[in-house]
Amino acid sequence: MNIRKKNRRFTAHYEPCYFDRNPLSISGDFEQNELGGLGMQEGDGSGNWIKGGKTYLNPHRNKERPRVGLHPKWWFQKEKVQKRWFVILSVGPCLFGYLLFTLYPNLMSVYYAFLNWNGISEPEFVGFDNFVQLVNDPFVWRALYHNVLLMVIAPAVTVLISLFLAYLLVNKNYREARFYKILFFFPNVLAVVVVTLLWAFIYDGNFGLLNAVLKLVGIDNGGYYWLGSKETALWSLIPPIVWGGVGLYVIIFMNAMRSISPSLYESAILEGANHWTRLIRITLPLIMPIVRVAMLFLVLGVLKGFEMVLIMTNGGPSGSTDVIGLYMFNLAFGADYHNYGYASAIGMFLFVILVGAKLLIDKFLPNENIQY
Report DSSP letters for 260-284, one per residue.
S-HHHHHHHHHTT--HHHHIIIIIH
Q: Between helices 138-171 and 177-189, what is the axis angle to 10°?
A: 160
- With bands split at pLDDT 50, 70 and 90, how would you rate the model's confidence at 4? very low
Crossing angle (nearest 10°) for helices 192-202 and 238-258: 130
The pLDDT value recorded for residue 31 is: 37
State the pLDDT at residue 272. 87
Please check the confidence at residue 106 and state whether its pLDDT lies above 80: yes
Q: Which DSSP string do the residues of 13-35 spell out, in sequence order?
A: E-----SSSS-----S---GGGT
Alpha-carbon distance of 247 to 114, in angstroms, equals 42
pTM: 0.74
Question: Is the bond into 59 cis (omega within 30 degrees of 0)?
Answer: no
With cut-offs at 50, 70 and 90, classify the pLDDT of residue 172. confident
Q: What is the pLDDT confidence band of residue 56, given thresholds at 50, 70 and 90?
A: low
- Mark residue 28 as left, alpha or beta (left: phi above 0; alpha: psi -120 to 50; beta: remaining): left
Average per-residue pLDDT for the chain: 81
pLDDT of residue 5: 43
Query: pLDDT per residue over 261-313, tens digit each?
Result: 889 888 988 988 888 899 898 999 899 999 999 999 999 999 988 999 999 99
Residues in the chain: 372
Give the integer Cα–Cα distance in Å for 242 and 157: 7
Q: What percent of the chain has pLDDT over 70?
A: 77
Residues 303-336: tens digit of each pLDDT = 988 999 999 999 989 899 999 999 999 999 887 7
Residues 6+ apart with CB under 8 A from 245: 154, 158, 162, 188, 298, 301
Looking at residue 101, the DSSP 8-state letter turns out to be I
> What average pLDDT does the segment 162-190 reach?
89
Pick the CATH number of 130-364 from 1.10.3720.10, 3.90.1150.10, 3.40.50.720, 3.40.1710.10: 1.10.3720.10
What confidence category does residue 85 fall into, taking pLDDT thresholds of 50, 70 and 90? Answer: confident
What's the pLDDT score for residue 328?
A: 93
Query: DSSP code of 100?
Result: I
pLDDT digits (tens, 9 = 90+) for 37-55: 444 444 545 555 555 666 6
What pLDDT does residue 330 have? 92
Annotated domain spans of the chain: 1-72, 130-364
Q: Which helix (H) or strand (E) holds 351?
A: helix 340-364
pLDDT tens for each residue of 198-208: 999 999 988 89
